[in-house]
Amino acid sequence: MKVVVVESPAKAKTINKYLGSDYEVLASFGHIRDLPAKDGSVDPEQDFHMLWELEDRGAKRVAEIAKAVKGADTLILATDPDREGEAISWHVLEALQAKKVLKDVAVERVTFNAITKDAVATAMAQPRAIDQALVDAYLARRALDYLVGFNLSPVLWRKLPGARSAGRVQSVALRLVCDREREIETFKPREYWSIVATLKTASGAVFEARLVGADGKRIQRLDVGTAEEAEAFRRDLELATFTVASVEAKPAKRHPQPPFTTSTLQQEASRKIGLAPAQTMRVAQRLYEGVEIGGETVGLITYMRTDGVDMAPEAVAQAREVIGAEYGDAYVPGAPRKYSVKAKNAQEAHEAVRPTDLSRLPKEVARFLDPEQARLYELIWTRTVASQMESAELERTTVEIVAQVGPRRIELRATGQVVKFDGFLTLYQEGKDDEEDEESRRLPPMRKDDALTRERIAATQHFTEPPPRYSEASLVKRMEELGIGRPSTYAAVLQVLRDREYVKIDKKRLVPEDKGRIVTGFLESFFRRYVEYDFTADLETQLDRVSNAEIDWRAVLRDFWRDFSAAIAGTKELRTTEVLEALNGLLAEHIFPAKADGSNPRACPNCGGGQLSLKLGKFGAFVGCSNYPECKYTRQLNATGLDGDGEGSGEGGQPGVRVLGDDPETGLPVTLRDGRFGPFVQLGEASPEKGAEKPKRSSLPRGLSPSAVDLEKALKLLSLPREVARHPETGEPILANIGRYGPYVQHGKTYANLGKDDDVLEVGANRAIDLIVQKEQGGGRPVQDPGRLIGTAPDSGKPVTVKAGRYGAYVTDGEINATLPKGADAEAVTLDEALRLIAARREAGGGTKKKTARKAPAKTAAGKTAAGKTKAAAKGEAEVSGDEAAEAKPKPAARKTPAKSAAAKPAAKKAPAKKPAAKSVAGE
């Protein structure tokens, strides 16, 4: 018997079908060990000794594998063919050796780039040992992320209340977004004018020509800078005679792009089918692991974590066959195309992302896939096939035109492009993020010395525009160009920035939140080296050299830790006033935008004598007056967060409060506030007098972003409860309101929760009556959201639905409930993803509808629960930074029981604390 270990149950199921009864395929469910949540898990004083701990779920997996191995002659480690896969195999081997179950058992490591029968069979015939260099590279990255997160995050907690974390790659990615925002804020628009002549040939064809020169001088795009200059050119051209000076037609070619790498796949999926990078990787993982087609489970694409663009010779040959069959021999180039990577630090260890069998046309496999999978497979298939197609042949025509007005000679130019042979363009054209993508125009036939007549002359004013904000696709592209991070980590790094509320998505663009800008400003001021692009890229180069067995991984850590630990130590004496002044200067354009009248933007508008400065409070950062407490002026950080006059909240204002305006009926101020249980709107101010009536408040309904709340919406929320309808039998009102557990409708003592698609401000009479009647007919039981049916479980036949729960969306088969991961789109979840979550929840022994008593987590010595901040820090930013944990395979959403700390044990048995570091980690 041979035992095969892979990462995921889906992968195990597929491979199990390819191997005979002599094999048993088990899944590790990703990593089985992690660095424990405590100081010393990576010990620089012991030459970076790393303390690994089996997780609860991992211990169960290891026990199953150990049991199977006891009766086997060979253990085959078949995890993914990259650094993370190598590390998972190493962890499994180390854990089994610790259990001493490998005596007389041969250990082999195999890898395959695609999960197909042939690929698996070939891999099994070519076993090797674990690649220690790849493991060392993993250890170095994991240790770096731990050291940065575990040591830098507590500094943020102490110096910047409200800041959540910092990570090695996460912080640099955030700086890119913030730097772009700073460019936009400091950008000074420049006026310029374009002069365009609409001309007509003798045959009556009309076309446009642009001003390019006058009086023997070239005129560039920004050279005509005033209305007077533009009007002078327009006036002369109105009087000029136009003649064709030359016509030049040149052949040109456009070549196809290479097949996808991880990053280009994420970019194109974002542009063309609207998938976020994290979604793209989830869907690609499913296509790689295998889907059921015609009674057989097959992997549809090759491994999707790669920076290589080469393809196997057999795949190239198959692509050429498909091109000939589907598009004709004219689209097949004379020789196969070869590509090389231009990205910095590219390893090219694997093939490009491609279909495992190009003869599986997208239209033929679509019926076996859910919509997201079908669209992503089609994108990968078209890019792969197009990469081996003939180039497009173009003809670019340039017509130079002379406008003569008296002695003055003005030059114009018209350009056009004609596609002579579409080549690969018949199938695929790469998307663009920010560049202008004007359609090529076709020019009418013209010859030298032809006379042209004027139709009209247009002089148009323009202003230069700031660089656009990054989209997720363009940020991934920029990170890859700079050599920051690895392609396999980009998706999770972006997700972490959103989860930490450092950035938000607005119109598909990344906008830094105030919290993110302050964190970046702090790091730039006091840890600048560690958020520099070149430093981060150079560190990636060193880590790549480790994976190539060129340098020792501990040497890299020693060099890093020597300077980094000194930088951390240098912040111990750092005063809050120093931090605030540094941020005041660095973020001046953002915090203190220039005033139209040119007056001092930092002068307090309330008392006149004080100076505005950044302040730190329990809700985070805000702007306040230096004359506090005599002057209590405060406002939000940026101009967009100010009240109507742009001057803030004035006397009595509070941090965490945004003034939306005044109620037209009462004249009281309407504010949006940060509360303990989330944002809410409030009418008026609370009175300090004892027994005074509290101001009216309303929570924001789930799904409503605070940034989307204006005065009109706030007044509607404050008007709740509102009468929606009258009960058909009693004639009593049915009211809509928001309660502790979300929006609901009410009739007397009967309450019915609104569904996730219902808007408490818009729900109509028919819907409200239906909910109340159903509730009354249900014998007093609450009417539950029936959810969205996404399919049927193949093994049990039970319907699988996605529902909105009190603690977020979840999937269920009627027996097991599994919460969706944070940030997951409930509308986009697929049957396969739901089944994986349910299976993982079942394995973890939770998620059933039977109620069990909850055990309160024990408190640590630092006064925090073990599930709280200390644990997040001690993960070394595996979750905080999102850097290297990002490329670990998806784990089940099992909840871990918080470990008891020393503080929870009897006093007599309490071990003395080794270091006081745990307190600083907890943020005290």
Catalytic residues: 303
- Per the document, the length of the chain is 924
3-class state of residue 249 by DSSP: strand
CA distances to 178, 275, 546, 614 from 586, in Å: 11, 35, 37, 11
Burial of 524 (0-12, 13-18, 19+ CB in 10 A): buried
Rounded Cα distance, 114 and 117, in Å: 9
CB-hemisphere CA count at 13 Å for 814? 9
Q: Tell me, rounded to whole angstroms, the distance of Cα 601 from its chain centroid.
A: 35
User: Which residues are CB-neighbours of 291 under 8 A, at least 6 positions away?
Assistant: 297, 298, 300, 368, 369, 373, 832
Cβ atoms within 10 Å, residue 263: 25
Rounded Cα distance, 136 and 630, in Å: 59
Rounded Cα distance, 570 and 518, in Å: 19
Name residue, tokens 């629960």.
865
Cβ atoms within 10 Å, residue 805: 16
- CB of 211 closer than 8 Å to CB of 233: yes
CA distances to 9, 588, 679 from 637, in Å: 48, 10, 17
Burial of 659 (0-12, 13-18, 19+ CB in 10 A): buried
- Indicate the residue type of 575: R
Question: What are the residue ranges of helices labelled H in 274-312?
Answer: 277-289
Note if the bond before 629 is cis, omega within 30 degrees.
yes
- CB of 496 closer than 8 Å to CB of 620: no
CA angle 614/617/622 to nearest 5° reads 35
Element containing residue 418 per DSSP (H, E): strand 408-421
- CB of 574 closer than 8 Å to CB of 381: no
Residue whose C-alpha is closest to residue 312's, from 254, 234, 378, 259: 259
3-class state of residue 561 by DSSP: helix
Rounded Cα distance, 26 and 16, in Å: 9
Name residue, tokens 């027996």.
815
Termini Cα distance of the chain: 55
Residue whose C-alpha is closest to residue 238's, from 437, 465, 456, 555: 456
3-class state of residue 427 by DSSP: coil
CA distances to 52, 291, 341, 582, 910 from 309, in Å: 36, 25, 6, 45, 57
Residue whose C-alpha is closest to residue 631's, from 612, 646, 658: 612
- Alpha carbon dihedral 15, 19, 25, 30, in 10-degree steps, equals -30
- CB of 92 closer than 8 Å to CB of 130: no
* DSSP for residue 764: -
Both structure tokens of 901? 């700390």
CB-hemisphere CA count at 13 Å for 702? 18
Cβ atoms within 10 Å, residue 884: 29
- CB of 372 closer than 8 Å to CB of 286: no
Cβ atoms within 10 Å, residue 733: 15
* DSSP for residue 301: B
- Indicate the residue type of 522: F
